[in-house]
Amino acid sequence: DQQVKQNSPSLSVQEGRISILNCDYTNSMFDYFLWYKKYPAEGPTFLISISSIKDKNEDGRFTVFLNKSAKHLSLHIVPSQPGDSAVYFCAASGGGADGLTFGKGTHLIIQP
Amino acid sequence: NAGVMQNPRHLVRRRGQEARLRCSPMKGHSHVYWYRQLPEEGLKFMVYLQKENIIDESGMPKERFSAEFPKEGPSILRIQQVVRGDSAAYFCASSPSRHTGELFFGEGSRLTVL
């Protein structure tokens, strides 16, 4: 039973354009959401987060939007750069569990 | 180095052998989490430990897997009698307290079972 779902295994975006990565969750008890970025053969690195009491959080080129009623969040990257090519994991905390619950990831490919 | 340190980075074992993976958390962090990533999958929670205590092992397979975080030294994830299905990347993460949300990850240990 996957509580955090990333339905797009991969996404290809042209350099300079906006990248939008989506994530859905089923557990309404999750109270904190995070995005991690992962390069091959490296560990995940924290990118940006949002509390369930907010609907938007912005950090430079990265913005995360949360729609609690739809149990949906998205990560916007604008403008997309070649170094953004990586696997992006959506994660959630709370819901009675320790640690983070991760989605399967979306492989973002930025094309020149 | 102030980050989460994992070793070995790569480990090859034959079926039936034991694998030991070590994790030193970030300085000042006393909470350690182990995750496993199978090919084409996300990271699956295995176990959460504080110093000398296992807090949550709900993600650990019931047999062959164990974890510890002694008062002194690194946290250790131990897999006995490894099978091919144990081949995966094992990531350790640490945090300064239990419910901070953000976890800091190591670079992972890649176990290959022949």
The string of pLDDT tens digits covering residues A62-112 is 999 999 999 999 999 999 999 999 999 999 998 777 888 999 999 999 999
Q: Is A98's CB within 8 Å of B33's CB?
A: yes
Q: What percent of chain B has pLDDT over 70?
A: 97
**Six-digit token string for B66:** 């164990």
Alpha-carbon gap, residue A24 to A68, rounded angstroms: 10
pLDDT at residue B22, rounded to an integer = 98
Among A34, A42, A103, beta carbon nearest to B102: A34
3-class DSSP state of A82? helix
| Residue B37 confidence (pLDDT) above 70 | yes
- pLDDT band with cut points at 50, 70 and 90 for residue B20: very high
Mean pLDDT of chain A: 94
Residue A87 near chain B (CB below 8 Å): no
DSSP string, A36-78: EEE-TTS--EEEEEEETT-SEEEETTEEEEEETTTTEEEEEES
Residue A43 near chain B (CB below 8 Å): yes
Alpha-carbon gap, residue A43 to A86, rounded angstroms: 12
Alpha helices by DSSP H, listed for chain B, are none
pLDDT at residue B35, rounded to an integer = 96
Contacts of A66 (CB under 8 A, 6+ apart): A33, A50, A52, A54, A55, A56, A72, A73
Q: Is A100's CB within 8 Å of B99's CB?
A: no
Q: How far is B56 from chain A (nearest CA, A)?
A: 7
CB neighbours of residue A41 within 10 Å:
11
Q: Are B53 and B75 in contact (CB under 8 A)?
A: no
Q: Is B58's CB within 8 Å of A97's CB?
A: yes
| Residue B1 confidence (pLDDT) above 60 | no
Choose among A37, A31, A32, A7: nearest CA to A108: A37
How many angstroms separate the Cα of A7 from the Cα of each of A37, A72, B108?
17, 12, 25
* Mean pLDDT for the stretch of residues A1-5: 87
How many angstroms separate the Cα of B114 from the Cα of each of B39, B62, B76, B80, B111?
16, 22, 22, 14, 10
DSSP 8-state secondary structure symbol assigned to residue A79? S
* Mean pLDDT for the stretch of residues A15-24: 98
